[in-house]
Amino acid sequence: MDIALLSLSSCLGCQMAFLSLEEYLYELIGENRVVYAPFLMDKKELDHADLALVEGTVRNTEHFLRAREIRERADRVVALGTCACFGGVQGLADLYPEPRLLRSRFGDTAFEGGPQGVRRLLPLDSFIRVDAYLPGCPPVPALIEKFLRAAVSGDRLSREGATVCAECAVTSPPLPQPGPRRLTEGSGEPGKCLLDSGFFCLGPLTRDGCGALCPSGMGVPCRGCRGPSGRVLERAGADVEAETVRRLARATGKKEEEIRAGVPDPVHTYYLFCLAEPLLRKRRSGGTSPYLHRLGE
């Protein structure tokens, strides 16, 4: 199987995760599977690939043309990372119209032949057909390896769509707890559930597969970097903000209005990685089932 790896508008984090595959990277290279990867090789254009891993978002016409070219030349396209799957942090740019963003940075500068910006920040599958999705910011190397091993042997992993909580090894503290609170006010008690401890932890609403490294391993609340869980995407009315507020009200013994009033940056707190996700705005064409069917990990 010939594999291509490329970026659109991105931080290159997924490429760094790919480089962290260790032994499996050597296996891929040794079997001549990597045929196109501008980050690693000098090949300027892709001739053909069986599988193209595309990282990042489409921000301008040049990204769009590149994505379309890859779609034409690859048998299967994988949206690699949360930017490609849900818009990622870059999706926050959708808070502002593109001309305003550019004006804030460049004033009235006229660019010589620069590409034109897109009107809305949207996931990759709003621009080209995507065959499978591998979210994560970036996906942990073990997950990339698992995905690629399955793909190379012609399979696709199937996940039931559990949440980060399913992988989080913590116990619940006695309620109520102080909060809602953030890390800048101090850390939680090691080994205790951060959400029940009053922190803005999005674990119950976020897709699993990361091993719950942040809440379980580091004592850092989940910020949702793997994107919304299948249940959130599938179920009408399963809102990340509403559910988190409800759970924090339970944990702290406060009223939901009080919790809401204490969050001056709801977009950054609840939708840091998925503001551009059309399902959350109920505007992905064809409903949710085609997307969920293609979750390819």
Partner 1 sequence: MNRVKGGERLAEGRRKGALRDMAHLVIGPLTRIFGHAYLRVEAEEGMSPGVRFSAFGYRGFEMMARGVHVDNLPPLVSRICGPDSLFHQAAACLAVEKALGMEAPPAARSLRELALWAQLFERHAVSLSVHGLPDLLFPSSDPGLRNLVSIYRVDEEVVRRLLSLKSLGTAVLRETGGSTVHGVNFRPGGVVRDLSAESRERLADRLRSGESLLLETARLVKLLLRRSEETVRRAGSIEGSFLAEHDPGGMGITGGGPALFTPGTEAEGPRPVEDLGERLREEPSSSGHVIYAGLEGTGALTVGPLARVNVNGRYGTPRADEELSELKETWGFPIRYPMVAHALRMLEMLHAWERMLELLREPSRGTLGETLNPGAGKAMVYIEAPEGGLVYGVELGEKGLVEKLSIVSPLQFNLRNLEKSLAEAFASVEKEGQERVSDVLHMVVRAYSPCVPCGVH
Report the site for partner 1 in 152-191 (rule: CB under 8 A): 182-187
Kindly give the pairing relationship between strand 74-80 and strand 3-7. Answer: unpaired
| Nearest alpha-carbon partner for 63 in 137, 28, 114, 133 | 114
Nearer of residues 129 and 155 to partner 1, judged by Cβ: 129
Q: Which residues pair with 206 in a beta bridge?
A: 228
Among 51, 84, 85, 225, binds partner 1 (CB under 8 A): 225
Helix or strand or coil: residue 3? strand
Asked if residue 15 binds partner 1 (CB under 8 A), the reply is: yes
Nearer of residues 160 and 265 to partner 1, judged by Cβ: 265
182-211 exposure pattern, b = at least 16 Cβ within 10 A, e = fewer: eeeeeebeeebbbbbbbbbbbbbbbbbbbe
Please, where are the H alpha helices in 138-239?
A: 141-152, 230-234
* Listed ranges 27-35, 159-167, 238-246, 288-296: which one lies at the site for partner 1 (CB under 8 A): 27-35
Asked if residue 272 binds partner 1 (CB under 8 A), the reply is: yes
Least separation, in Å, of the C-beta of 230 and partner 1?
Answer: 22
Nearer of residues 61 and 158 to partner 1, judged by Cβ: 61
State the binding string over 93-132 for partner 1 (x if CB under 8 A, else -). Answer: x-xx---xxx-xxxx-xxxxxxxx-xx--x---xxx----
Nearer of residues 42 and 160 to partner 1, judged by Cβ: 42
Between the CA of residue 115 and those of 58, 60, 110, 257, what are the distances in Å? 12, 6, 12, 45
Nearer of residues 154 and 180 to partner 1, judged by Cβ: 180
Nearer of residues 151 and 214 to partner 1, judged by Cβ: 214
Nearer of residues 9 and 177 to partner 1, judged by Cβ: 9
Asked if residue 264 binds partner 1 (CB under 8 A), the reply is: yes
Among 1, 150, 152, 220, binds partner 1 (CB under 8 A): 220
State the binding string over 235-254 for partner 1 (x if CB under 8 A, else -). Answer: --------------------
Asked if residue 140 binds partner 1 (CB under 8 A), the reply is: yes
* Listed ranges 136-144, 164-172, 201-209, 242-250: which one lies at the site for partner 1 (CB under 8 A): 136-144
Peptide bond into 138 cis (omega under 30): yes
Which residues are CB-contacts of 65 (< 8 A; sequence separation ≥ 6)? Answer: none
Asked if residue 48 binds partner 1 (CB under 8 A), the reply is: no
Nearer of residues 136 and 230 to partner 1, judged by Cβ: 136
Distance of alpha carbon 220 from alpha carbon 200, whole angstroms: 10
Residue keyed to tokens 């990867």: 37
Distance of alpha carbon 208 from alpha carbon 229, whole angstroms: 7
* Listed ranges 149-157, 158-166, 232-240, 267-275: which one lies at the site for partner 1 (CB under 8 A): 267-275
Between the CA of residue 51 and those of 33, 74, 151, what are the distances in Å? 10, 6, 8
Asked if residue 143 binds partner 1 (CB under 8 A), the reply is: no
Asked if residue 211 binds partner 1 (CB under 8 A), the reply is: no
Please, where are the H alpha helices in the chain?
A: 13-19, 23-30, 61-73, 81-86, 98-106, 141-152, 230-234, 240-252, 256-261, 266-270, 289-294
